[in-house]
Amino acid sequence: MSLSRKQYWIACLFLLPAFAIFGMFFFYPFLQSIYYSFTEWNGIKAPRYIGFDNYRYLFQDVQMLDGMKNTLKMVVFGLVVQNPLALLLAVLLNRKFRTRGFLRTSFYLPVIISLVVTSVVWGEILKFDGFANGILTHIIGEARLQDWLGTVYTSFPTIILLTQWQAIGYCAMIYLAGLQAIPTDIYEAADIEGAKGFALFRHVTFPMLMPSVTIVLFLTIVGALRLFDLPFLLTNGGPGSSSYTLFLAVYNAAFKNQSYGYATAGSIVLTLFIIIVTVIQLGITRRREVEL
Amino acid sequence: MKLKGLSALASVLLLTTAVSACGGSNNGNNQGNSSSDTSTNTSSNSSTNSSGNNAAATDDTSSNASTDNSGSNAAAAGNDKEFTIRVGAWFLDDRPYMVQFKKDVETAYAKLYPKAKIQWDVVLGATYFDKLKAQFASGSAPDVVFYQGVDFAKSGNLQDLSAEPWVARLNTGGQKDFQTHADGKTFGVPMGLSIGGGVWYNKKIFSDLGIQAPKTTQELMDAAEKIKTSGKTPITLGFKDQWTASLFYFNWLNSYQLNDPTLGQKVYSGEQKINDDALIQKVYQNFEQMKSKGYFNKNAISIDWPQSGQMFASGEAAMIVQGPWMPGANADNINKGGFEKFDIGYFPLANDDGKVAMGLGSNEALGVNAKTELMQESKDLVNLITSADIISPFMKGDGALTSFTDVTVQYDDPVMNDVQAAVDNSTVVTSNLTNFIPASAATNMLDLLTKVVSGVKFNADDLKPAQASFDKDKATVSPPAE
């Protein structure tokens, strides 16, 4: 047996325990879940095979459709608003000024706070007789005050805004790291060539920042598609299904409606959706990355 | 190199062996203990059962309890086997009557099995049921389980307990209890009979405003109007907890269903569509009217049940629609919040004509895992829990009515007399529409309710998703017998 073959088999042996654990707790359940996605199963009675009914119903179910709409809203908001704002913040925080360190810490601080704690605190601030309305009553008047998490028109927009409290600081830090990794001699060369202001940003900074853009867009899109915690903790999808997300719709199908087969079908579609979207996104942004 | 390869292989094998040995060792121990316990205890427990039967024939409550326990003690004589029996529950928290319940059970069981240990597998809240399903599926469920929902019995997870001595002691309500009976068999102990819910009101506010307990929907609206005019919130809702919305809606629908008592069967058979039914729509219209007139708290959707309870306890709101635990919970809220004490009253949700149907059934059911290896020990544990000494304080704490002919419950709060009177003067039902539709359809209905209470106008078409969910998941429903 050649040396490389021996090393190959030894490596396989070392991988075996991890593979066994993954196989038992991930691969096997995943394969099983494909089977369950074709069944009607409430977790108590025996599963009943129903073909593609679960998959068909996904596109008629109000909760899933509302979840899909809201999830897409979150993705679009993440790309169009959150991402540019984070980049702008990173550019500003990359400048030299007195309180730079303090501001960098301040913007990143929300990221380290538990989402459950965040939800409780924001829930208290936003409740009808809470702090936010206490201030707003002097600005917009009492008649226009809302139960921000308690109406179909404001619940999900409020949740989107709350996600930004953590997301913008997090993405800005990734951009900031990217900005600091750009060699200064490139800027010096550009300066000699006469590039300044927005032209400098467009033709030098942004192309050099593309690896960070790839990461941030990936995290933004996947984060938006996986949005669950905040709506679960703050509104549980309500009122009605106005603040459902796809992930929450799948969760509620399983653990509220006891439709485990249907929820499994939803989770498989969601997984495929996330894979397709991220592959497309990575394909687009990676092509634009600049090799140093 | 060869040596390295062999040692690597040996390490992997060792790890694998160690891991599997750990599992094997546990199983072996459990099986060993369980099988020996089961075989040893079977004969002694048969005498427990017979003494229990004797007790059931006696009318006096206190003597029954002592007879049960003494019978158990006699059976326990010479029983010194060691075992751990697991009891699963979702509600055994640190409330004083819950703590006392556990203590009483442990003390009584120690007399029966001196070396036995009770392991309380408590997961508070609805997560318990998800865990319980997984445990039944994997064969690791507790020996004795508190449960909700007849499906656990119908699917073969629970042991048929029809031959147990306490079955003969069940009163009419206990015998008709929906979730403990299926296919003519008894699968669990109804731990008291709870009203589905109703309206608890602040007597001081009512008397100050000269309001009598409303007897029809219109009277309820009139009372709410008077309260609103006085500056108080008429009814506080905590619909962030969707079960509170369910409790309110389906209890009200119960009374309206008196105009069509077979509505549930009709929906189940497909004769009646959920979105076309006038009674179902009427209750939504009631909510819509109350919302539009400002009879609910403005944060009804974004606060949960404890926060709505606080509003009621503080005197900020005059009414709250809740379950039988409200007197105890309200007294607790008043103490903790330092609010001014007040008496509470109770009235059921009536229909337009003043007719009332009240749901009555067990909140907690107690059964035995059909696959337990401690079968007799589990039955003995269930049997002793039914003794008056143990179950009566539990029912009192729960605000439940008795489910046994020989167990009486003395309540501290006189409002429970109002509850009893309401039950006596109403049509008692043991099931409601939710027993005929899948959970997904009920969720759709409640989603619509929260939407309406948030201020959206009711549209009957918005009930179509509930009908669609019903059509999709109908096979998961186990409807009550006719």
Q: What is the pLDDT of residues B176-205, one digit of tens each?
A: 898 999 989 999 999 999 998 999 999 999
Q: What pLDDT score does B58 carry?
A: 31
The least confident of A243-247, B39-43, B443-447 is B39-43
Q: What pLDDT score does B4 carry?
A: 45
Same domain, B135 and B205: no
Angle at B453 between CA B448 and CA B457, to 5 degrees: 70
Report yes or no on B12 lying in a domain. no
**Which of A114, A93, A116, A87 minimizes the C-alpha distance to A105?**
A93
Percent of chain B with pLDDT over 70: 83
CA-to-CA distance for A115 and A105, rounded, in angstroms? 18
A21 inside 8 A of chain B by CB: no
CA-to-CA distance for B90 and B87, rounded, in angstroms? 10
Q: What pLDDT score does B335 carry?
A: 93
A48: nearest CA in chain B? B475
The least confident of B55-59, B245-249, B454-458, B478-482 is B55-59
CA-to-CA distance for A71 and A168, rounded, in angstroms? 18
Question: CA of A259 to nearest chain B CA: how many angstroms apart?
Answer: 7
Angle at A48 between CA A45 and CA A54, to 5 degrees: 115
Please tell me the total count of domains within chain B: 2
Run of H or E residues at A48: strand A48-49
B133 inside 8 A of chain A by CB: yes
Average pLDDT, chain B: 85
Same domain, B211 and B336: yes
Same domain, B54 and B72: yes
B9:A13 CB<8 A = yes
Report yes or no on B18 lying in a domain. no
Run of H or E residues at A40: strand A39-40
Residue B44 has pLDDT above 50, yes or no: no
Three-state DSSP class for residue A151: coil
Same domain, B328 and B223: yes
Which residues, 6 or more positions from A10, have their beta carbon under 8 angstroms from its beta carbon?
Answer: B4, B5, B8
Contact between B453 and A151 under an 8 Å Cβ cutoff? The reply is no
For residues B363-392, average pLDDT: 96
At residue B310, φ and ψ (nearest 5 deg) are -65, -40
Cis peptide before A239 (omega within 30 of 0): yes
Q: Which CATH class is domain A59-287?
A: mainly alpha
Q: Which residue has the tokens 């006392």?
A: B100
Q: How confident is the model at residue A291 (pLDDT cuts 50, 70, 90)?
A: low
| B25-46 core/surface letters (b: 16 or more CB in 10 A; e: else) | eeeeeeeebbeebbebbeebbe
> CA distances (Å), A26 to each of A255, A265, A275, B19, B169, in order?
20, 17, 17, 18, 50
Residues of A whose CB is below 8 A from B152 = 44
Report yes or no on B80 lying in a domain. yes
Q: What pLDDT score does B57 carry?
A: 30
Q: What pLDDT score does A187 carry?
A: 86
Domain of residue B66 covers 33-193+363-398
Same domain, B158 and B74: yes
Q: How confident is the model at residue A200 (pLDDT cuts 50, 70, 90)?
A: confident
Of the CA atoms within 13 Å of residue A281, those in its CB half-sphere come to 19
CA-to-CA distance for B372 and B352, rounded, in angstroms? 50
Angle at B282 between CA B277 and CA B284, to 5 degrees: 105
Same domain, B152 and B277: no
B440 inside 8 A of chain A by CB: yes
Same domain, B189 and B202: no
CA-to-CA distance for B36 and A280, rounded, in angstroms? 62
Residue B95: count of CB within 10 angstroms of its CB: 16
Q: What pLDDT score does B458 carry?
A: 97
**Which of B351, B169, B139 minimizes the C-alpha distance to B259?**
B351
- A49: DSSP letter: E
B448 inside 8 A of chain A by CB: yes
CA-to-CA distance for B61 and A264, rounded, in angstroms? 51
A171 inside 8 A of chain B by CB: no
Same domain, B394 and B450: no
* Sign of the Cα pseudo-torsion (B94, B195, B213, B232, in order): positive
The least confident of A24-28, A178-182, B8-12, B432-436 is B8-12
Contact between A87 and A167 under an 8 Å Cβ cutoff? The reply is no
**Which of A292, A244, A237 minimizes the C-alpha distance to A270?**
A244
Same domain, B164 and B41: yes
Q: How confident is the model at residue A290 (pLDDT cuts 50, 70, 90)?
A: low
Classify burial at B370, counting beta carbons within 10 Å of its beta carbon; exposed 0-12, middle 13-18, buried 19 or more: middle
Residues of B whose CB is below 8 A from A152 = 451, 454-456
Report yes or no on B482 lying in a domain. no
Residue B47 has pLDDT above 50, yes or no: no
* Axis crossing angle, helix B388-398 with helix B375-385, rounded to the nearest 10: 60
Same domain, B76 and B46: yes
CA-to-CA distance for A160 and A70, rounded, in angstroms? 9
> CA distances (Å), A246 to each of A224, B2, B442, in order?
10, 53, 20
Q: What pLDDT score does B40 carry?
A: 30
Q: What is the CATH number of the domain that holds B283?
A: 3.40.190.10
pLDDT in tens, A203-243: 888 889 999 999 999 999 999 999 999 999 999 998 999 99
Report yes or no on B243 lying in a domain. yes
Residues of A whose CB is below 8 A from B8 = 10, 13-14
SS (H, E, C) B141-182: CCCEEEECCCHHHHCCCECCCCCCHHHHHECHHHHHCCCCEE
Which residues, 6 or more positions from B125, have their beta carbon under 8 angstroms from its beta carbon?
Answer: B90
Same domain, B251 and B329: yes
Q: What pLDDT score does B29 carry?
A: 35
Q: What pLDDT score does B482 carry?
A: 59
Domains of chain A, residue spans: 59-287
Q: What pLDDT score does B27 carry?
A: 34
CA-to-CA distance for B189 and B366, rounded, in angstroms? 5
Residue B24 has pLDDT above 70, yes or no: no
For residues B332-352, average pLDDT: 95
Report yes or no on B21 lying in a domain. no
Residue A288 has pLDDT above 80, yes or no: no
CA-to-CA distance for A237 and B239, rounded, in angstroms? 12
CA-to-CA distance for B136 and B249, rounded, in angstroms? 32
Residue B9 has pLDDT above 60, yes or no: no
Q: What pLDDT score does A81 carry?
A: 95
Kind of pairing between the strands at B189-190 and B365-368: antiparallel
Q: Which residue has the tokens 């600091």?
A: A180
Residues of B whose CB is below 8 A from A239 = 301, 447, 450-451, 453-454, 456
Same domain, B201 and B319: yes
Report yes or no on B212 lying in a domain. yes
Contact between B150 and B176 under an 8 Å Cβ cutoff? The reply is no
A70 inside 8 A of chain B by CB: no
CA-to-CA distance for B290 and B328, rounded, in angstroms? 28
Kind of pairing between the strands at B181-182 and B185-186: antiparallel
Q: What pLDDT score does B80 carry?
A: 79
Q: What pLDDT score does A292 carry?
A: 55
Average pLDDT, chain A: 91
B456:A40 CB<8 A = no
Q: How confident is the model at residue B62 (pLDDT cuts 50, 70, 90)?
A: very low
B241: nearest CA in chain A? A236
A127:B473 CB<8 A = no
pLDDT in tens, A40-97: 998 888 899 999 999 999 999 999 999 999 999 999 999 999 999 999 999 999 998 9
Q: What pLDDT score does A195 carry?
A: 81
Question: CA of A275 to nearest chain B CA: how many angstroms apart?
Answer: 28
Classify burial at A4, counting beta carbons within 10 Å of its beta carbon; exposed 0-12, middle 13-18, buried 19 or more: exposed
For residues B228-236, average pLDDT: 97
Report yes or no on B411 lying in a domain. no
Kind of pairing between the strands at B233-236 and B317-322: parallel
Q: What pLDDT score does A197 carry?
A: 84
